Chains A and B, each alone.
Chain A
Amino acid sequence: MFEYAPAPESRSVVDIKPSYGLFVDGTFVDPADGGSFKSINPASEEVLSEIAEGGAQDVDRAVRAARKAYDKVWGPMPGRDRAKYLYRIARIVQERSRELAVLETLDNGKPIKESRDVDLPLVAAHFFYYAGWADKLGHAGFGPAPKPLGVAAQVIPWNFPLLMLAWKIAPALAAGNTVVLKPAETTPLTALLFAEICQQADLPAGVVNIVTGAGDTGRALVEHPGVDKVAFTGSTEVGRAIARAVAGSRKKLTLELGGKAANIVFDDAPVDQAVEGIVNGIFFNQGHVCCAGSRLLVQESVAETVLESLKRRMAQLRVGDPLDKNTDVGAINSAAQLARIKELSDAGAAEGAQRWSPPCELPERGFWFAPTIFTGVTQAHRIAREEIFGPVLSVLTFRTPAEAVEKANNTPYGLSAGIWTEKGSRILWTADRLRAGVVWANTFNKFDPTSPFGGYKESGYGREGGRHGLEAYLNV
């Protein structure tokens, strides 16, 4: 046997402070009521740092700082000068990418391979991309001189902490807004390191404010009357609450919510690559991906072959220490999320679907869930309808292209979908009929700052990325 020796990335490249304050008006400050919470490493349950919990008063301070910066500095600043700051941030992110990647992996539990090769390059790419737009807004298709909205309140999830921050902050700043961002309570550390990067880049005080905390902090932020724009990425349930909260106000809202994407494999698909795509679709980032291909729809005539290959491939997945460069599947982000994954997969087994996982040893400490597939799943099963947000794949079969489309669309969500076939005309036929914001053909989970991303139906509204992503931050 060829056993790979441990190849851990050194964690000494990043300096984690024992505690962090809130980043308001260019400096770190203590919260008004002194509350705090702990951020832990989900792979070991070790406490990484003590984080300030922002209350209503802190949110108010941050929004005021953002307003002042918008009125006095960032709003009036010419686009070319805003671009300079964004380019500078992008370069610093690249220079400090190893540090950021290790920190992301420690706080989130995702494999270093992914934070290093996917998250961080995309973060830098988003800043570079929107830096380029800052002085060209008149050419974005929203009129000759589109104006920013003002202060943007942004609430982001824990699955791609720094990348979601980049998706939110880069277009907002490029368009001339200032921001108050609340990272998720389980993964605040890279956002706080990003705050240090803003200082390093000499970004004017108050342009970016980071207020850490949990749901109450987020609620205070989106409900604050001084906010002109709310952007949220997270669960559909919270998204609904936010939509209700801002209803009837002048606040503009974009939501990027849950998904239950269908990954459709036709009988003429390139089998080996389709299997890679299925694995990437559902096990990438432990399945903590809103656009994960969590429903595999495979044509009945090739179902057996595809499943055999899939199981063989899953047996090669290396689950374990996220800092090991050879790890493919890391830790589940939190105990709460692990409990939800367990609950739904137990429901799947109880409802009669067949459960399968490759033999794999899970570490004792930390939150872990083995890559799992369910076969014999029908549209009536909970695991075919509800978002699991974990490394759990539900396999359904279909007989005809029309049935595939019907099943794929038979969900309240509509964020993404995948099509696997060697036939170009079938790709176009299917993509035309799928109600999903992103449709990948013969690939999955491909992201690029130039390409808009967003959902249909209960997966949200508004687009992030590309020229379209600017619209959410412009007064159009």
Chain B
Amino acid sequence: MTATATSARSDLSELGRSETALRAFLHGLPGVDQVGAEQRAAQLGTRSIKTTAKAQAIDLAIRMVDLTTLEGADTPGKVRALAAKALRPDPADPSCPHVGAVCVYPSMVPYAAEVLRGSAGSGRPSDGPGPTNGAAPAGPGGVHLASVATAFPSGQAPLEVKLADTRAAVEAGADEIDMVINRGAFLAGRYGEVYDEIVAIKEACGGADAGRQGRPRAHLKVILETGELATYDNVRRVSWLAMLAGGDFIKTSTGKVPVAATLPVTLVMLEAVRDFRTATGRQVGVKPAGGIRTTKDAIKYLVMVNETVGPDWLDPDWFRFGASSLLNDLLMQRTKLKTGVYAGPDYFTLD
């Protein structure tokens, strides 16, 4: 980490109070050399993961999937089916692990909750200490329920609307909130505004009755929408901004703009969470989302996690894949490894 961050270790929480301090800090982060970062990401992509290592990676990747549907055409039926798949991705093989979470729009949260927790909004654990993980405790089936909020995907709505959106999702039973940052404000250099908004949403993650009932607050994933930030320098700055403001996870993309998750962007974000932990002691999770479709891709990400931030992040509590079609490819490769032959696509459920 930079000397700036190390020496400022105890002061980091104060940075958000002053626009000037925040700007000075973010602009004082070391730059990212584009060619070098892309070269390193490509190098890690050439690792050859075979046999036992591959089997281990596939199961881990399945456990890290945030099984996602974010369509205007989503219906309760579609969401129920997706949630069922999240619990039992491969009906033919009980040894297959469940996925990390289901990710849906706020209006669809109750239907997913029905399946994941038995009934809407009441299945969240109501006891136990507050979580220290990147992810909140899951429902009985072990699968988290994530919802996008804050006027996803553009984030172009008044703060009150975003807060109401968030509270509604939490009330409906989401234990993870995937918010989008205000990219317009970030690109215009209004870092304080972006910061304050994340802080406010984090607060709202406790629901309308935050603090009452002793319920753990929903965990906050901050979507940076790196495809709209254009440079790796910006990706590093906004990663720090989101972490300083209290994000539990930083996530690459909404999946709704042409450029979604890439290996170099994820590399820069992993370096940021690594350096943030060194500076503050707090660990933050990372979620690449959008465009990760194959087992081969997923394994490249896991290798990158392994060699950039180490085994501490090789856990669904700290690393997730935002994906939909990835799961079936993982299942197909898993079956191939076990049986030695590829099963046709009809042997894997389409939900």
Q: Does A443 contact B (CB under 8 A)?
A: yes
Give B291-306 interface residues, CB cut-off 8 Å to A: 302-303, 306
Selecting from B52-60, B67-75, B180-188, the interface stretch reads B52-60
Distance between B4 CB and nearest chain A CB, rounded to angstroms = 10
* Residues A272 and B35 in contact in the complex (CB < 8 Å), given A4-B49, A5-B51, A326-B47: no
Give Cα A219 to B76, complex, Å. Answer: 84
Give B212-238 interface residues, CB cut-off 8 Å to A: none
> Within the complex, which residue of A268, A305, A316, A325 is in contact with B48, where a contact is CB–CB below 8 Å?
A325
Which of A6, A272, A316 has the largest count of B CB atoms less than 10 A from its CB?
A272
Contact count band on B: 20 to 34
A3: chain B residues at CB < 8 Å are: 53
Q: Does B2 contact A (CB under 8 A)?
A: yes
Residue of A nearest to B307 (CB): A316
Give Cα A316 to B43, complex, Å. Answer: 13
**Cross-chain contact B36 with A117 (CB below 8 angstroms):** no
Give Cα A270 to B49, complex, Å. Answer: 30
* Residues A273 and B37 in contact in the complex (CB < 8 Å), given A2-B306, A2-B314, A4-B49: yes
Give Cα A276 to B42, complex, Å. Answer: 13
A276: chain B residues at CB < 8 Å are: 36, 39-40
**Cross-chain contact B311 with A2 (CB below 8 angstroms):** yes
A326: chain B residues at CB < 8 Å are: 47-48
B306: chain A residues at CB < 8 Å are: 2
**Cross-chain contact B2 with A7 (CB below 8 angstroms):** no
**Cross-chain contact B54 with A2 (CB below 8 angstroms):** no
**Cross-chain contact A268 with B51 (CB below 8 angstroms):** no
> Within the complex, which residue of A2, A117, A301, A304 is in contact with B46, where a contact is CB–CB below 8 Å?
A117
Give Cα A460 to B53, complex, Å. Answer: 47
Give Cα A6 to B56, complex, Å. Answer: 14
* Residues A305 and B36 in contact in the complex (CB < 8 Å), given A7-B49, A325-B48: no
Q: Does B161 contact A (CB under 8 A)?
A: no
Q: Does B271 contact A (CB under 8 A)?
A: yes
> Within the complex, which residue of A2, A117, A443 is in contact with B302, where a contact is CB–CB below 8 Å?
A2
**Cross-chain contact A272 with B32 (CB below 8 angstroms):** yes
| Cβ-Cβ contact count across A and B, 8 Å cutoff | 75
**Cross-chain contact A442 with B46 (CB below 8 angstroms):** no
Q: Does B140 contact A (CB under 8 A)?
A: no
Distance between B335 CB and nearest chain A CB, rounded to angstroms = 19
Contact digits for A1-32, partner B, Cβ 8 Å, 1 yes 0 no: 11111110000000000000000000000000
Distance between A451 CB and nearest chain B CB, rounded to angstroms = 16
B131: chain A residues at CB < 8 Å are: none
Distance between B44 CB and nearest chain A CB, rounded to angstroms = 10
Contact count band on A: 20 to 34
Contact digits for B282-324, partner A, Cβ 8 Å, 1 yes 0 no: 0000000000000000000011001100010010000000000
B210: chain A residues at CB < 8 Å are: none
Which of B36, B40, B271 has the largest count of A CB atoms less than 10 A from its CB?
B36
**Cross-chain contact A443 with B307 (CB below 8 angstroms):** no
**Cross-chain contact A1 with B311 (CB below 8 angstroms):** yes
Distance between A322 CB and nearest chain B CB, rounded to angstroms = 14
**Cross-chain contact A442 with B48 (CB below 8 angstroms):** no
> Within the complex, which residue of B6, B40, B47 is in contact with A4, where a contact is CB–CB below 8 Å?
B47
B1: chain A residues at CB < 8 Å are: 305
Q: Does A168 contact B (CB under 8 A)?
A: no
Distance between B91 CB and nearest chain A CB, rounded to angstroms = 28
* Residues A270 and B311 in contact in the complex (CB < 8 Å), given A5-B54, A117-B46: no
Contact digits for A254-295, partner B, Cβ 8 Å, 1 yes 0 no: 000000000000001111111011000000000000000000
Residue of A nearest to B38 (CB): A273
Q: Does B3 contact A (CB under 8 A)?
A: yes
* Residues A443 and B36 in contact in the complex (CB < 8 Å), given A4-B49, A269-B30, A301-B3: yes
B39: chain A residues at CB < 8 Å are: 276
A113: chain B residues at CB < 8 Å are: 46
Contact digits for A295-309, partner B, Cβ 8 Å, 1 yes 0 no: 000000110110000
Distance between B239 CB and nearest chain A CB, rounded to angstroms = 13
Give Cα A435 to B182, complex, Å. Answer: 49
8 contacts between A and B (CB under 8 A): A2-B56, A2-B303, A2-B311, A4-B47, A117-B46, A270-B33, A273-B32, A422-B33
Q: Which 5 A-B pairs have the closest CB atoms?
A: A273-B36, A7-B48, A325-B48, A273-B33, A270-B33
A interface residues with partner B (beta carbon < 8 Å): 1-7, 113, 117, 268-274, 276-277, 301-302, 304-305, 316, 325-326, 422, 442-443
